[in-house]
């Protein structure tokens, strides 16, 4: 199938000394110590419009990285009550149990890829205005994309680490990259400024050739999220309404359209996504998300498994969303043809009427909980049983913005103020609307609408900070498996203890502190 938007696999090596260029599926070692290298430099790049487009595509390329958006960020959501981590990465397990220290691999590896994306955006922001001749609409669009993608990285860094160094295009001319941390407020002020610039410069829609690029709707949605995190409810409502009231960003007709390979390319709800491609080979642009969420018996690695507590959160009538979100015993996936031996010690048979057969399509017991997230699992329609890596990875959906707008209205004006936005999401799911909905209804709705999309833990922490919920109550409940055999409601993760304020943020990676020679200091309590 032909892909709508080819980001091109240009690994443009024209970045600041913050990080050096590496193959996107490798690891960056000592990013503060290395110098740029490669075919292109700032002396022979950023010459014309083609260079600008290639340079912007190079920023998007970082999104496909396994150790960044492609997977590792999702491990932090394993701290929530929705997901239990499995697999052979002890650092993931340590994070899920709040046994966190600055030397964990995952704590470190997230940092350099975030700054790689920032470095590429900084170069674009610095050099694009200097390109002498190019189409003004493409110049504006490209600047808007760079501002948005830089803002997105800094927003995530502020979520995970809190105070972090702010490095912008100004550091290029000063060649000063080893700078101290800035406060969360300072970081988010830059995020706000970048998103406002992006919203001003980006187009509202794209033609088929450029689908997958960020639009005004993505910038408006991220502004809504930023202001909600800062308890600036009026501003959150202002930018949320821009998305809610714009038909270009309407909710998809069906919830499952957001995770359906065939429906995704024309889906107005996908404000921002990793635009994976189907083709295979070394130049294919594919994130690792499908590997990590697809069951192992179905060729995936099966790292993140929903809990029984999360499965129980769905209302009995909420069958459309539950089926689109969870794979559970008795389910199947279209075009999944992998046949493996059935053994009571290894798996639980998924299809009725097949007892005693030696092979079949299974949900393996090695998922630990009896559930998998369905949203990132799809197979090619040629019945080869091969995973469809062209499935897009949603990072921001209109439904998220609808619910953030509803929350801001509830918190500003009281129960019932967000009914219109909350009920638009519920009615799309085939449910009755709420009347006078308050924060309990809003919290429930965000959990089931956005389950497995890496928002639950950050939601819980901001609500805990504002004393809307008590995280102690949530993490003190063990994570349990499905009641069906062979899972039998087993305790997967025992009760945990959340330490405030320490556990609101990850530690700064020890390697980063060492490389900075003490300019960057550790977060408190680590």
> Of 27-31, 129-133, 286-290, 497-501, which gets the smallest average pLDDT?
27-31
- CB-based contacts of 231: which residues, under 8 Å, 6+ apart? 411, 466
Quick one: pLDDT band at residue 87, thresholds 50, 70, 90? Answer: confident
- Mean pLDDT confidence for 447-468: 98
Mean predicted confidence (pLDDT) in 354-358: 48
Confidence of residue 24 (pLDDT cuts 50, 70, 90): very low
Q: What is the pLDDT of residue 41?
A: 67
Full DSSP string of 433-459: PPSS--HHHHHHHHHHHSTTSS-HHHH
pLDDT tens digits for range 149-190: 999 999 999 999 999 999 999 998 888 899 999 999 999 999
d(CA 517, CA 438): 49
Q: Which domains does the chain have, with CATH numbers?
A: 1-185 (1.25.40.390), 290-394 (no CATH), 402-503 (no CATH)
Higher pLDDT, 247 or 173: 247
Per-residue pLDDT at 421 exceeds 50:
yes
CA distance 66 to 72: 6
Q: In this predicted model, which residue has the larger pLDDT, 152 or 369?
A: 152
- The whole-number average pLDDT for the span 426-446 is 98
Q: Which residues pair with 360 in a beta bridge?
A: 340
Q: How many CA atoms lie within 13 A of 195 on its CB side?
A: 23
pLDDT at 359: 44
What's the confidence (pLDDT) of residue 283?
63
- Give me the percent of the chain exceeding a pLDDT of 70: 85
Q: What is the pLDDT of residues 39-74, one digit of tens each?
A: 666 667 999 999 999 999 999 999 999 999 988 999
Residue 44 confidence (pLDDT): 79
* pLDDT at residue 343 in the model: 54
* Lookup: tokens for 155: 């927003």
How high is the mean pLDDT of the chain? 87
At 31 the pLDDT is: 32
Q: How much is the pLDDT for 357?
A: 47
Mention every residue, 6+ apart, whose C-beta is less than 8 A from residue 460.
80, 81, 469, 471, 474
Tokens of 510: 């020890």
pLDDT(487) > 90: no
pLDDT at 298 over 90: no
Angstrom distance (rounded) from CA 335 to CA 451? 24
- Tell me: the pLDDT tens digits for 316-326? 999 999 999 99
- Looking at residue 337, what is its pLDDT? 73
Q: Tell whether the model's pLDDT for residue 361 goes beyond 80.
A: no
Residues 102-151 have pLDDT tens digits of 999 999 999 999 999 999 999 999 999 999 999 999 999 999 999 999 99
Residue 37: band (very low, low, confident or very high) from pLDDT cuts 50, 70, 90: very low
Q: How confident is the model at residue 488 (pLDDT cuts 50, 70, 90)?
A: confident
Tokens of 252: 């998809």
List of E strands, 187-293 = 270-274
Query: What's the confidence (pLDDT) of residue 86?
Result: 82
What would the mean pLDDT of 239-243 be, rounded to a whole number? Answer: 98
pLDDT at residue 467, as a whole number: 97
Residue 101: pLDDT band (50, 70, 90) is very high
* 214, 149 Cβ separation under 8 angstroms: yes
The verdict on pTM exceeding 0.85 is yes
Both tokens assigned to 310: 């999360």
Mean pLDDT on 381-404: 93
């Amino acid at each position: 199938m032909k892909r709508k938007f080819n980001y091109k696999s240009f690994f443009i090596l024209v970045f600041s000394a913050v990080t050096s260029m590496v193959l996107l599926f490798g690891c960056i070692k000592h990013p503060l110590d290395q110098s740029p290298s490669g075919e292109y430099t700032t002396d022979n790049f950023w010459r014309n419009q083609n260079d600008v487009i290639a340079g912007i595509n190079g920023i998007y390329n970082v999104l496909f990285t396994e150790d960044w958006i492609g997977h590792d960020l999702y491990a932090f959501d394993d701290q929530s009550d929705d997901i239990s981590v499995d697999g052979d990465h002890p650092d993931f397990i340590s994070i899920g149990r709040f046994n966190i220290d600055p030397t964990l691999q995952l704590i470190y590896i997230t940092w350099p890829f975030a700054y790689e994306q920032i470095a590429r955006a900084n170069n674009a922001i610095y050099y694009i205005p200097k390109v002498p001749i190019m189409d003004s609409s493409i110049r504006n669009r490209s600047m808007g994309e760079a501002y948005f993608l830089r803002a997105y990285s800094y927003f995530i860094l502020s979520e995970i680490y809190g105070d972090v160094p702010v490095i912008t295009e100004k550091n290029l001319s000063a060649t000063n990259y080893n700078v101290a941390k800035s406060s969360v407020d300072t970081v988010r002020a830059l995020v706000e400024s970048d998103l406002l610039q992006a919203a001003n410069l980006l187009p509202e829609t794209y033609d088929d050739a450029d689908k997958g690029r960020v639009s005004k709707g993505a910038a408006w949605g991220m502004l809504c999220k930023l202001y909600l995190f800062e308890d600036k409810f009026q501003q959150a409502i202002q930018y949320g309404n821009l998305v809610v009231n714009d038909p270009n960003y309407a909710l998809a007709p069906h919830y499952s359209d957001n995770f359906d390979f065939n429906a995704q390319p024309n889906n107005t709800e996908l404000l921002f996504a990793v635009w994976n491609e189907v083709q295979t080979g070394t130049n294919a642009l594919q994130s690792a998300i499908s590997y990590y969420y697809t069951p192992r018996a179905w060729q995936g690695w099966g790292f993140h498994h929903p809990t029984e507590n999360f499965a129980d959160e769905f209302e009995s009538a909420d069958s459309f969303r539950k089926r689109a979100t969870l794979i559970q015993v008795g389910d199947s996936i279209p075009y999944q043809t992998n046949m493996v031996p059935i053994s009571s010690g290894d798996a639980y048979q998924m299809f009725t009427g097949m007892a005693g057969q030696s092979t079949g399509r299974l949900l393996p017991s090695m998922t630990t909980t009896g559930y998998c997230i369905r949203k990132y699992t799809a197979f090619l329609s040629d019945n080869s049983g091969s995973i469809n890596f062209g499935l897009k990875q949603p990072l921001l959906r209109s439904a998220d913005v609808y619910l953030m707008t509803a929350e801001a209205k509830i918190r500003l004006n009281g129960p019932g103020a967000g009914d219109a936005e909350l009920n638009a999401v519920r009615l799309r799911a085939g449910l009755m609307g709420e009347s006078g909905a308050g924060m309990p209804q809003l919290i429930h709705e965000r959990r089931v609408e956005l389950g497995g999309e890496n928002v639950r833990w950050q939601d819980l922490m901001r609500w805990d900070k504002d004393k809307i919920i008590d995280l102690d109550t949530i993490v003190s409940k063990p994570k349990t498996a499905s009641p069906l055999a062979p899972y039998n409601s087993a305790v997967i993760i025992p009760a945990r203890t959340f330490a405030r304020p320490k556990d609101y943020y990850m530690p700064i990676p020890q390697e980063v502190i060492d490389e900075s020679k003490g300019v960057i200091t550790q977060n408190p309590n680590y």
